[in-house]
Every structure is written in C-alpha cells, then in structure tokens.
Amino acid sequence: MRHKGISCSALGCIAGLTTALAVARAHAQPVDPFDPDAAGGPVPPAVPTTPGAASTTSPPKQGAGEGELTPEELAEIERATGADAGTLRDAGRGGGLGDSGSGKAPLPVPVPAGAAAFLPDISVVLGAALAAFSTEEPLQAGGHDPSSSGFNLQQVELSLGKSVDPYFRFDANLVFTLEGVEVEEAYATTLDLPAKLQLRAGQLLTRFGRINATHPHGWDFADQPFFWSKVWGSDGNRGLGAELSVLLPLPWYVEILGSTTEAAGEGTARSFYGAEDLGVRSPIDFENLLAVKQFFDLSHDWSLLFGVSAANGPNPSGRHSRTDVFGTDLYLKYRPITRQSFTVVSLQSEWMLRRRQVPDDVLVDVGGYAQLFYRFEQRWGAALRYEYATATQNRSGARVVDPLDPSHAADRHRASAALTFWPTEFSRIRLQGSADVPRWLERPTWAGFLQLETVTGSHGAHAF
C-alpha cells in the first residue's frame, strides 16, 4: 500500500506539474515583449502607427488548432516549397537588401570563395622553456616537460583541422621536437550520426579524465602531473583506435563514451603492454575505456564539470594479467559574466587508482593532483598545484618494488606555483617553481622554469 501511495502521488505530481506548465505557458503568451507590436522602443510618442503595423489581428495560423497539419502534409509542403527554397536563398545573398527606408542601405558584398576555403585551418604552437633544477637527474617524465637545466624545446605543434565532407571532420596534431616528428593525434570525427552519437577514429588521445586529452597549450602549468607520466607514459594515454560517445537526452549535459585503443606504447600505454607489445590475439588485447562526463551550469558565473573514467587492458606480466585504472575528475570554475570582470577562479582535481595483476599478486597505487588557478588581471594569472602518489603496494598492503619504476619505493609529493602573463591570447610567458619531495631520495628537488608559448595561425577553439 505504501508503495502504491508513493507511486500515485508521484504520478499526481507530474500531472499537476504538466498542467501548471501548460497554464503558465498559456498565460505567458499574451505578454510577449518581442512582438513587433509590443510597446516600448524609440518610436516618437505622438505619432500613431500605421493601420497595418498597429493591427492586432493575428496573421493566418496554418499550424494551430483544428487546422493542424499532419506530418505527411508537412512533408508535402516541404517538397513543394523545397524547389523554391534554393532560389530564395540565392536571391537573398546577391540582391540589394536590408533597408526599407532611405537610400543609404548597406549592400551585401559578395564573399570571395576560392579553393583556399577548403584548406585545413593551420596553427603552429611553440613551447620553449629555460629550466633550472637542483639536481642533475630531475624526475621529469612528461614528453613536453622541461627536463634538464638549460634551454628546452618543449614542442612545436602543428595543428590541422577541417571538415572533410558533410559526415566527417579531420583533426591532426603533429609534434616536432629536436629529435623528430610524431603524429600525436590524427583522427576523423563524425558529424552526422543519429541519436547524438559521435565516433572518432584514428590516432587519438583518450578522454580519460580531464587533462589527458588536452595539449600543453591548454595547461595551467609548464609540465604535466607526474602521476600521469607514471601511469600512461611521457605522452599521455593515446593510441590508434576508435571512440564512440553519446549525449544523453537529459536536461543537463551527460556524455558517455567508450574507446578502444592499442594497448602498446612505452610513452602512451605504459601500464598496459607498454614497451612490450605482445600483439593483438583477441578483442580484449586492447585498452578499453569507459567514461561518464557531466556538466552542471550552477549559475551564469559558476560551472562544474565532473567525470569518472575506467580503463582496462592487458599487461605483459603474465598470460592473463590485466591492468585497471580508475579515475575521477572535477573542475569547478567561477567566471563572472553578468558584469564586467576578467576574474577567473578554477579548481581542478583528478585522482587515479591503478591496479595491476602480476603473477600471484596485485599491485596497487594511487595518485593525483589538485590545482587552483586565479586570473586576477586581464593579462595575469597565478596557479598553485599539489600532487601526490603513493608507493606501490601489493594485495596484503605491503610496499613492493614496482617493476616499471623500481626506484620509486615510497610516497612522492610535489608542489608547484606558476605566474602567467598573457600579452594576448596568442602568447604567454610563464614563471614556475616547484618543490619535489620523492621520499625515496634524501633531499627534495627544486625546479624553476621560464616558459614562452606562442600560437600562430587560426588556432582552433578550446573545449571547456
């Protein structure tokens, strides 16, 4: 009985709500400030409007009430008018438009269209840093990290992207270093799958968590969190593969994605096959990833992004050995847009748990970071980051020698602070200092970077 009572009242609630909404809508209609007939605006007060304009009689309503058209009829109309639509459109661009009054109407200028319109958008990002470390062997393992005292070329990234056809767009990021060139990313993205599905295929950074899929250009610091280098490798988690994602039809943003990528690569899938590529013998010999991302518009000024991710794939320690990585990410951003302000305050934090099966045991470690960013002037921002990772433990909780990082036999902490100056949104100069405390070393390591980054070309828009 109790259950029945609850379900009935729930139904009643919905019915009531629907009615209330309908009533509200019906009431809202007569007071439409956007109706050209509505009062207000710069019409001289004494002048009465022309009979035509002042008319309050409704124009013919073909889609309302009993005159409602069936979908078949609508399709018929669309077919019949479709032929004319093209000519209407063409006429709209070429002819003299815009002004019903005086003769000083702005005339449309034909937009020059050439083969250049089809060339990919190209941009080049330069990242270089002057670095100083208090040790000759810094523990900087990120591929783009400044990693030795002196000048470091972090990367020259060439980005290309454009629509391929109505169904795909193509994006690539080619990274040039002093050692050579690598195809960091090169993938196609579908534009026209049904049911809000989207497929990406090619060489791609996986969307595990928040920072992994981003590029150094989008980071608040000059180097990547050390646990990311430890779990995924120097270049972050990426590989040849495919990703399918879907936007759920809910009132808030919920995206679910799954991807399958190569499990091999010392710098890209380190906790899976990594450097020991045992090949693909079955579908589970890939890295498979599942992630859910949710976004909440808390207000105009506050936003929250929250995600959970899990990846599973083979590791080379045994015939059926698997590795799991679980992660959670949070990004809280305050950026006032309801008044004049350049302020941005954001809190970003990600944590991962890695679990590797090895013969007769399981190795577990945890790590992550939390960072606070504050843009206090139009061109200035400051950021603080704390990172932590545990030593590797076995099933019984004892510290063990990690086969991938035998020297990392204890916890590691690192704190960094960065001050960034943006001359424009196309360049930035960053000063960063950090204190690294790997407990297996006797002394902490100090580091200082002075980084310069420039962006030339039509750099693509950034994701949130």
Please list every residue from 288 through 347 that binds other proteins, using CB under 8 A. 293, 295, 297, 300, 303, 305, 333, 335, 337-340, 342
Query: Quick check: 281 binds other proteins (CB under 8 A)?
Result: no
| Choices 40-48, 348-356, 406-414, 435-443; region in contact with other proteins by CB under 8 A | 40-48
Query: What is the smallest separation between the CB atom of 270 and other proteins, expressed in angstroms?
Result: 29
DSSP state of 216: G
In 10 A of CB 316, how many CB atoms? 18
Among 24, 65, 66, 166, binds other proteins (CB under 8 A): 166
- Residues from 63 through 82 that contact other proteins (CB under 8 A): 63, 69, 74, 77-78, 81
Query: Quick check: 99 binds other proteins (CB under 8 A)?
Result: yes
Query: Quick check: 463 binds other proteins (CB under 8 A)?
Result: yes
Query: What is the smallest separation between the CB atom of 89 and other proteins, expressed in angstroms?
Result: 7
| Cβ distance to other proteins smaller for residue 342 or 440 | 342
Query: What is the smallest separation between the CB atom of 37 and other proteins, expressed in angstroms?
Result: 6
User: Interface mask (CB under 8 A) for other proteins, residues 198-227, using x and -?
Assistant: x-----------------------------
Query: What is the smallest separation between the CB atom of 210 and other proteins, expressed in angstroms?
Result: 12
| Cβ distance to other proteins smaller for residue 165 or 360 | 165
DSSP H or E stretch at residue 53: helix 51-54
Query: Quick check: 108 binds other proteins (CB under 8 A)?
Result: yes
Q: Which residues pair with 433 in a beta bridge?
A: 417, 448
Report the alpha-carbon distance of residue 260 to residue 240 in Å, rounded: 8
Query: Quick check: 407 binds other proteins (CB under 8 A)?
Result: no
Query: Quick check: 43 binds other proteins (CB under 8 A)?
Result: yes
Query: What is the smallest separation between the CB atom of 62 and other proteins, expressed in angstroms?
Result: 5
User: Interface mask (CB under 8 A) for other proteins, residues 79-98, using x and -?
Assistant: --x---x--xx--xx---xx
Read off φ and ψ for residue 42, nearest 5 degrees: -85, 50
Cβ pair 158, 173 in contact under 8 A: yes
The amino acid at 28: A
Cβ pair 325, 307 in contact under 8 A: no
Query: Quick check: 27 binds other proteins (CB under 8 A)?
Result: no
The amino acid at 412: R
| Cβ distance to other proteins smaller for residue 211 or 305 | 305
Report the alpha-carbon distance of residue 60 to residue 67 in Å, rounded: 10
| Cβ distance to other proteins smaller for residue 167 or 440 | 167
Query: What is the smallest separation between the CB atom of 289 and other proteins, expressed in angstroms?
Result: 18
Query: What is the smallest separation between the CB atom of 43 and other proteins, expressed in angstroms?
Result: 5
Q: Could you give the C-alpha distances from 439 to 99, 389, 390, 410, in angstroms and in order?
A: 74, 11, 10, 5
Query: Quick check: 164 binds other proteins (CB under 8 A)?
Result: no
Among 66, 72, 87, 100, binds other proteins (CB under 8 A): 100
Handedness of CA 247, 248, 250, 254 (dihedral sign): negative
| Cβ distance to other proteins smaller for residue 43 or 183 | 43
Strand positions, DSSP E, 394-442:
412-424, 427-438
Among 19, 22, 35, 419, binds other proteins (CB under 8 A): 35
Report the alpha-carbon distance of residue 438 to residue 367 in Å, rounded: 13
Structure tokens at 302: 């506050």
Query: What is the smallest separation between the CB atom of 202 and other proteins, expressed in angstroms?
Result: 15
In 10 A of CB 193, how many CB atoms? 13
Q: What DSSP string runs through 54-92?
A: H--SPPP-SSSGGGPPPHHHHHHHHHHHHHHHHHHHHHH
Could you tell me which of 190, 193, 181, 289 has the C-alpha nearest to residue 241?
Answer: 289
Query: Quick check: 40 binds other proteins (CB under 8 A)?
Result: yes
| Choices 43-51, 136-144, 212-220, 275-283; region in contact with other proteins by CB under 8 A | 43-51
- Residues from 236 through 275 that contact other proteins (CB under 8 A): 247, 249-253, 255
| Choices 42-50, 127-135, 180-188, 309-317; region in contact with other proteins by CB under 8 A | 42-50
Instruction: Give 332's Cβ-side CA count (13 Å radius).
Output: 6
Among 173, 189, 224, 261, binds other proteins (CB under 8 A): 189
Report the alpha-carbon distance of residue 67 to residue 48 in Å, rounded: 34
**Residue whose token pair is 């032929």:** 83
Query: What is the smallest separation between the CB atom of 91 and other proteins, expressed in angstroms?
Result: 9
Structure tokens at 106: 């702005």
Cβ pair 329, 292 in contact under 8 A: no
Using DSSP, state whether 272 is helix, strand or coil.
coil
